[in-house]
Amino acid sequence: MPELAAHARDVPVNQIREITEAAWATPGAIVLSIGEPGFALPRHVLEAGMACLDRDETNYTPNAGIPALREAFADRFREHNGVDIGSERVYIVDGAQQGLHFAMSLLLSPGDEILIPNPGYPTFAMTGRLLHGVPVGYPLYPEHDFQPRIEDIEALITPRTRVLILNSPSNPLGAVLGEELTRSMVELAQRHDLWIISDECYEAFTYDVPHVSPARFDSDVPGEARVFTSLTLSKTYGLTGLRIGALVCPPGLERKMNNVMESIVSCVASPSQYAAIAALTGPQDYVSHAHAHYRANRDSASAVLESKGIPFLSAQGAFYLWADVSHVSGGDVRSWVRTFLAESGVSFAPGTAFGSIGEGWIRIALCAAQADLVEGLGRLPSRS
Ligand SMILES: Cc1ncc(COP(=O)(O)O)c(C=O)c1O
């Protein structure tokens, strides 16, 4: 058999999947290692997908997606972020992961460097590498509440740096970038002529702070604008399996987007697109219910960690808590989560799944039923 391409041979194991698959295979385990919303989907969303199949509307759609869906995304973006992007900049994609791949395909030439958060979502590095880019982690330190610092990022910029990835609210941290810092990030990209890919998967879930989209501070002049915004309905409406999201490009790149989309997936499945129109334009009870559930879970999980003296980052967004278990993990949190699952029947994502700074930390997903979450965290050893 011929060899695989070098970049495919090097794709690392996803440590979140590794522990979660072990947990699924453990009878009775409490699974707190994966961020999968668990509520029943709203009926009108399912019906819209099924009606599309009933009509046999199963042909190709335009590369960029069904116009009504592009408009629904643009409307939501204007309402939530105060930015008028116009539907012609909205490209419908197979979930945020394909949006990230799409954006990086447009922006990275072999050997180009892409700045990613450490700790940060694992596929930022995996996708960059698969596209022959070089991921460079910018540090988010515990002593700065895991917020990025302009000087740390600036120190990593070289003539090969092309892209800065931002992710607010953050997976795994639950941290949110405030307005001033977001503006400074866009200015940094302007100073060094970088693209920004802003992953806003969790934009619907912030707690007492606003979500700030970097697109607000971008130029609207073609040739100067530099922010790509990645959106998904996977988290907002729990539509993970329908694979539906949008990539918003800077003005002036619309035609190029079509050509690249054609060569990646051509277009997204039409039932998913119709379900997404129903989700975005119909009743929003699902989102408010999910928001209340995550907030309540965040509060009860925080109370358990406090009672045990376990340090954690106070989450302002997304549905994760980031906790310091260095008192038990013995310098190898990836092995420790396996041992903890075997001995206590609870799974957490090891912090090392998100980068080197995650050693000694775990990510706790807040999607489970509250009783399971409290029971699972109750089994953690206290820090004396
Ligand atoms: C930060 C972040 N980006 C992208 C994704 C991928 O989302 P999707 O299911 O829409 O592909 C996830 C999923 O967990 C995520 O947390």
Give the tens place of pLDDT for each residue, 259-278. 888 889 999 999 999 999 99
Tell whether the model's pLDDT for residue 77 goes beyond 90: yes
Q: What local confidence, expressed as pLDDT, does residue 258 receive?
A: 86
Ligand 1 center–CA 3 separation, angstroms? 30
Q: What is the pLDDT confidence band of residue 116, given thresholds at 50, 70 and 90?
A: very high
Tell whether the model's pLDDT for residue 37 goes beyond 90: no
Tell whether the model's pLDDT for residue 10 goes beyond 80: no
3-class DSSP state of 206: strand
Rounded CA-CA distance 23/32 in Å is 9
DSSP 226: -
Helices (H) and strands (E) in the chain, counts: 14, 12
Rounded CA-CA distance 32/224 in Å is 43
What is the rounded average pLDDT of the residues 133-154?
97
CB of 205 shorter than 6 A to ligand 1: no
Q: Mutate which of 198, 201, 272 to test ligand 1's pocket (most atoms within 8 Å of Cβ)? A: 201
Tell whether the model's pLDDT for residue 6 goes beyond 90: no
CB of 167 shorter than 6 A to ligand 1: yes
Name the pTM for this structure: 0.97
What is the rounded average pLDDT of the residues 100-121?
97
Identify which of 241, 216, 239, 215 has the alpha carbon closest to the alpha carbon of residue 229: 215
CB of 95 shorter than 6 A to ligand 1: yes
Ligand 1 center–CA 238 separation, angstroms? 11
**Shared fold status for 6-41+285-378 and 43-281:** no
Tokens of 134: 């070089």
* CATH architecture designation of domain 43-281: 3-Layer(aba) Sandwich (3.40)
CB of 234 shorter than 6 A to ligand 1: yes
Identify which of 140, 135, 104, 95 has the alpha carbon closest to the alpha carbon of residue 10: 135
Ligand 1 center–CA 233 separation, angstroms? 10
What is the rounded average pLDDT of the residues 162-189?
98
- Contact between 349 and 278 (Cβ < 8 Å): no
What is the rounded average pLDDT of the residues 324-336?
98
User: What is the number of the ligand 1 atom nearest to the C-alpha of 233?
Assistant: 10
Angle at which helices 370-378 and 285-307 cross, to 10°: 20
What is the domain partition of the chain in residue ranges? 6-41+285-378, 43-281
Cα separation values, 303 from 299, 310, 311, 377, 380, Å? 6, 10, 11, 10, 13
pLDDT in tens, 208-233: 999 999 999 999 999 999 999 999 99
Question: Residue 157's beta-bridge partner residues?
Answer: none
3-class DSSP state of 336: helix
Q: How far does CA 12 lie from the centroid of its chain?
A: 18
CB of 121 shorter than 6 A to ligand 1: yes
Tell whether the model's pLDDT for residue 11 goes beyond 80: no
CB of 97 shorter than 6 A to ligand 1: yes
CB of 35 shorter than 6 A to ligand 1: yes
pLDDT in tens, 183-199: 999 999 999 999 999 99
CATH topology of domain 6-41+285-378: Aspartate Aminotransferase, domain 1 (3.90.1150)
What is the rounded average pLDDT of the residues 122-148?
96
Tokens of 238: 């729990």
Rounded CA-CA distance 216/227 in Å is 9
| pLDDT over 90 percentage in the chain | 91
CB of 135 shorter than 6 A to ligand 1: no
Buried b (16+ CB within 10 A) or exposed e, 293-304: bbbebbeebbeb
